[in-house]
Amino acid sequence: MPDCTLTIDDKSYTASDSMTVLEVCRRNGIWIPTLCHDERLEPFGGCRMCLVEVEGAPDLLISCVTRVRDKMVVRTNTDRVHQTRRGVLEMILSDHPNDCMTCEKDGDCDLQDLAFRFDIKGDRFGTQPKPRAPLPDPNPMFERENSKCILCGRCVRICDEVEQAHALAFVERGMETFITTPFGRSHLENPCTLCGQCLSTCPTAALVDKHGKGIRARELRKVRTTCAYCGVGCQLTLNVKDNHVIRVTSEVGTVPNNGNLCVKGRFGHEFIHHPDRLKTPLINRDSKFVEATWDEALDLIARRFGKIKAQHGPDSLASISSCRCTNEENYLLQKFTRSVLGTNSIDQCART
Ligand code: SF4
Ligand code: SF4
Ligand code: SF4
């Protein structure tokens, strides 16, 4: 139930007083830029990009941590708001290498998108970004390059709040601050589960997937599918180039996983193009498996099923489906079992 009525950019809206100004704006299609915000996480108020004017408040307020209240009057697109957000972005970019031309995140980077939208060219402050060497880590999944880090804290917070692994932390203070693992240990030697949630939330190229190194995000075609590793059915986005799956991501807002994946779903995709993978059916002929066409294999199966059914009746056949298949595939198997084989003997591994 709405608890309050407020005005945003001269239009009236109703909302629950548990919502933030940012949530109400996003729900109603009002654009507010953010860098440290991820709807999977508690609001942080760190990047200052979401500043808005609120009538009666002397300073601009951070919309991601400001709760709405009755009769509130908010302005999101005044000159003051725009110039302040632009200044904040210029300061963030003044400590950033800005090498989008050769960056793997090119085409899928929140920082690049905002720089384009605010038409920021060059570095007004004339500062030299602090050189920060990539942190070598033997884990095979992802790597960190702190020169591209904007200290939004999303990786640290998602590791704490969602994965609850507590494998990342801010260290040092002020301009010396950077993100690392506790005691600088490798991700193979700390509580990290290699889930890649930190990778999924990072708005820049500070955290990148080691799969498909050297391929820019803009070169990849996105294909939605369902993970086949277990019965949860997480939604995956295959990032494909030249019909090869280069890496796997997931969109925030999808059900049931809301952009989160486990190590298998996110990184266990190398089998897809592995040379040992079976590409055609094999038929056992004289104790040897020989390659066959799908028609040959299906004809053989149909003949054998038909023979067993004719000799011993339909209840001599049964099928067991897998929780690794989709609902649609499981539906088809039960339909085949009941309608074609003629038996109700069907079970599913997830039932036990
Ligand atoms: S992280 Fe983003 S803004 Fe930074 S260089 Fe790469 S594409 Fe450009
Ligand atoms: S991979 Fe997962 S567990 Fe490891 S640091 Fe990133 S979020 Fe934390
Ligand atoms: S590594 Fe990425 S997510 Fe983590 S603080 Fe830096 S920019 Fe933010």
pLDDT at 157: 98
pLDDT at 2: 76
Among 108, 112, 201, say which to mutate for ligand 1: greatest number of ligand atoms within 8 Å of CB: 112
Among 106, 116, 146, 207, say which to mutate for ligand 1: greatest number of ligand atoms within 8 Å of CB: 106
Residue 49, in any domain of the structure? yes
Tell me the CA–centroid distance for residue 99 and ligand 2, in Å.
Answer: 26
Residue 250, in any domain of the structure? yes
Residue entry with tokens 């489906």: 321
Residue 108, in any domain of the structure? no
Residue 235 sits in the same domain as residue 138: yes
Residue 181 sits in the same domain as residue 310: no
Residue 133 sits in the same domain as residue 68: no
Report the sign of the C-alpha dihedral through residues 64, 81, 96, 114, in that order: positive
Residue 17 sits in the same domain as residue 62: yes
Residue 160 sits in the same domain as residue 269: yes
Q: Which of 273, 292, 307 is the last residue of a domain?
A: 273
Which residues have C-beta within 8 Å of that of residue 173, sequence separation ≥ 6? none
Confidence of residue 1 (pLDDT cuts 50, 70, 90): low
Q: Which residues of 8-43 are buried (b: 16+ CB within 10 A; e: fewer)?
A: beeeebebeeebbbbbbbbeeebebbbbbbbebbeb
- Single pTM value for the model: 0.89
Residue 113, in any domain of the structure? no
Residue 203 sits in the same domain as residue 287: no
Residue 321 sits in the same domain as residue 261: no
What CATH number did the domain enclosing 165 receive?
3.30.70.20
On the question of pLDDT at 160 being above 70, the answer is yes
Q: Which of 256, 273, 290 is the last residue of a domain?
A: 273
Cβ of 100 below 6 Å from ligand 1 = yes
Residue 100, in any domain of the structure? no
What CATH number did the domain enclosing 61 receive?
3.10.20.740
Confidence of residue 334 (pLDDT cuts 50, 70, 90): very high
Residue 286 sits in the same domain as residue 256: no
What residue numbers bound the domain in which 302 lies? 282-351
Residue 266 sits in the same domain as residue 324: no
Residue 91, in any domain of the structure? no
Tell me the CA–centroid distance for residue 152 and ligand 3, in Å.
Answer: 5
Cis peptide before 256 (omega within 30 of 0): yes
Residue 316 sits in the same domain as residue 184: no
Residue 208 sits in the same domain as residue 331: no
Q: Which of 216, 249, 273 is the last residue of a domain?
A: 273
Residue 117, in any domain of the structure? no
Confidence of residue 201 (pLDDT cuts 50, 70, 90): very high
Residue 89, in any domain of the structure? no
Residue 289 sits in the same domain as residue 165: no
Q: What are the Cα distances from residue 304, in Å, to 235, 316, 339? A: 37, 12, 17
On the question of pLDDT at 224 being above 70, the answer is yes
**How many independent structural domains does the chain possess?**
3
Tell me the CA–centroid distance for residue 277 and ligand 3, in Å.
Answer: 37
Q: CB–CB of 82/33 below 8 Å?
A: no
